[in-house]
Amino acid sequence: MYIEIESEDDGRWIAEVKDLPGVMGYGQSREEAVSKVEALDLPVKQEDDCIYGDF
Protein backbone atom coordinates (compact mmCIF):
# COMPACT_ATOMS: atom_id res chain seq x y z
CA MET A 1 0.00 0.00 0.00
CA TYR A 2 1.43 3.37 -1.04
CA ILE A 3 0.34 6.31 1.13
CA GLU A 4 0.92 9.87 -0.05
CA ILE A 5 1.19 12.39 2.79
CA GLU A 6 0.88 16.18 2.51
CA SER A 7 0.67 19.12 4.89
CA GLU A 8 -2.27 21.46 4.27
CA ASP A 9 -2.04 25.27 4.49
CA ASP A 10 -4.07 25.24 7.71
CA GLY A 11 -1.59 22.91 9.44
CA ARG A 12 -3.57 19.69 9.08
CA TRP A 13 -2.05 16.63 7.45
CA ILE A 14 -3.73 14.50 4.80
CA ALA A 15 -2.80 10.92 3.99
CA GLU A 16 -4.18 9.23 0.86
CA VAL A 17 -3.96 5.64 -0.39
CA LYS A 18 -3.06 6.14 -4.04
CA ASP A 19 -4.30 2.67 -5.11
CA LEU A 20 -7.76 3.29 -3.62
CA PRO A 21 -9.31 6.55 -4.86
CA GLY A 22 -11.15 8.42 -2.14
CA VAL A 23 -9.43 6.65 0.76
CA MET A 24 -7.90 9.48 2.77
CA GLY A 25 -7.60 10.65 6.34
CA TYR A 26 -6.90 13.99 7.98
CA GLY A 27 -5.04 14.56 11.23
CA GLN A 28 -3.42 17.23 13.37
CA SER A 29 -0.14 15.34 12.94
CA ARG A 30 1.41 13.22 10.22
CA GLU A 31 1.06 10.13 12.42
CA GLU A 32 -2.62 10.77 13.11
CA ALA A 33 -3.41 11.13 9.39
CA VAL A 34 -1.54 7.93 8.52
CA SER A 35 -3.22 6.04 11.37
CA LYS A 36 -6.67 7.10 10.17
CA VAL A 37 -6.04 6.15 6.56
CA GLU A 38 -4.57 2.78 7.57
CA ALA A 39 -7.75 2.10 9.57
CA LEU A 40 -9.87 2.85 6.48
CA ASP A 41 -7.74 0.80 4.08
CA LEU A 42 -8.67 -2.69 5.29
CA PRO A 43 -12.48 -2.26 5.30
CA VAL A 44 -12.37 -0.69 1.83
CA LYS A 45 -10.24 -3.55 0.45
CA GLN A 46 -12.57 -6.14 2.02
CA GLU A 47 -15.63 -4.48 0.48
CA ASP A 48 -13.92 -4.30 -2.91
CA ASP A 49 -13.00 -8.00 -2.71
CA CYS A 50 -16.60 -8.95 -1.92
CA ILE A 51 -17.98 -6.89 -4.80
CA TYR A 52 -15.59 -8.39 -7.33
CA GLY A 53 -15.51 -11.91 -5.88
CA ASP A 54 -11.86 -11.96 -4.80
CA PHE A 55 -12.38 -13.38 -1.35
Give the tens place of pLDDT for each residue, 17-51: 888 888 899 999 999 999 998 888 665 554 555 54
Cβ contact 15:8 at 8 Å: no
Cβ contact 38:20 at 8 Å: no
| H helix count then E strand count, the chain | 1, 3
**pLDDT of amino acid 1:** 73
